[in-house]
């Protein structure tokens, strides 16, 4: 690959509206695109313009999505700057999302884990990706 790939985390949900505040207000992502009734699916994409990643959540009409498979299914954001990390944690808490104890205690040492409306977890890790 000549260029770094772009990452899309795509996941089904039963309730798009319940997920949006977690990713928009808590994580500070922007709603990049929404669609309705596209081949039987509604969806929303959240991320930051120009960032090499975004989340896509979809709801299939007439389909029920089972709950999150485990508490150890994680998306981890590495935030090297302590002030930026503290601000990100404070934004999550101010948006009404308190941290939860991580299934793997490793993530509690230098990070905070948060759980979305579907039971999936996001870790804000105060560390440099090595």
**Domain residue limits, the chain:** 7-60, 74-125
**How many CB atoms lie under 10 A from the CB of residue 108?**
15
Determine the average pLDDT of the residues in 59-69.
94
Output the pLDDT for position 1: 57
Class of the CATH domain delimited by 7-60: alpha beta
Whether 74-125 and 7-60 are alike in CATH topology: the answer is yes
74-125, superfamily in CATH?
2,3-Dihydroxybiphenyl 1,2-Dioxygenase, domain 1 (3.10.180.10)
Tell me how far apart the alpha carbons of residues 15 and 58 are, in angstroms, rounded to a whole number: 9
Output the pLDDT for position 26: 98
Determine the average pLDDT of the residues in 62-89.
96
CB 44 within 8 A of CB 30: no
pLDDT at 17 over 80: yes
Contacts by 95-103, CB closer than 8 A, 24 or more apart = 95/21, 95/22, 95/25, 95/26, 96/21, 96/26, 97/22, 97/26, 102/71, 103/70, 103/71, 103/72
pLDDT at 2 over 90: no
Cβ burial 85-103 (10 Å sphere, 16+ → b, else e)? beebbeebeeeebebeebe
| Local confidence band at 97 (pLDDT 50, 70, 90 cut-offs) | very high
Pairing between β-strand 111-115 and β-strand 30-38 as defined by DSSP bridges: unpaired
Tell me how far apart the alpha carbons of residues 64 and 94 are, in angstroms, rounded to a whole number: 31
pLDDT at 118 over 60: yes
Cβ burial 16-28 (10 Å sphere, 16+ → b, else e)? beebbebbeebbe
């Amino acid at each position: 690959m000549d260029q770094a790939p772009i990452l899309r985390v795509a996941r089904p949900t039963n309730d798009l509206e319940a997920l949006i505040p977690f990713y928009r207000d808590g994580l500070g992502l922007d709603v990049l695109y929404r669609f309705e009734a596209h081949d039987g699916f509604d969806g929303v994409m959240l991320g930051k313009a120009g960032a090499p990643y975004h989340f896509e959540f979809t709801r299939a009409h007439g389909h029920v999505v089972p709950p999150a498979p485990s508490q150890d299914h994680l998306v981890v954001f590495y935030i090297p700057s302590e002030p930026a990390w503290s601000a990100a944690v404070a934004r999550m808490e101010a948006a009404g999302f308190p941290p939860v104890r991580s299934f793997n205690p490793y993530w509690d040492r230098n990070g905070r884990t948060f759980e979305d409306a579907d039971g999936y977890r996001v870790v804000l890790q105060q560390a440099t990706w090595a």
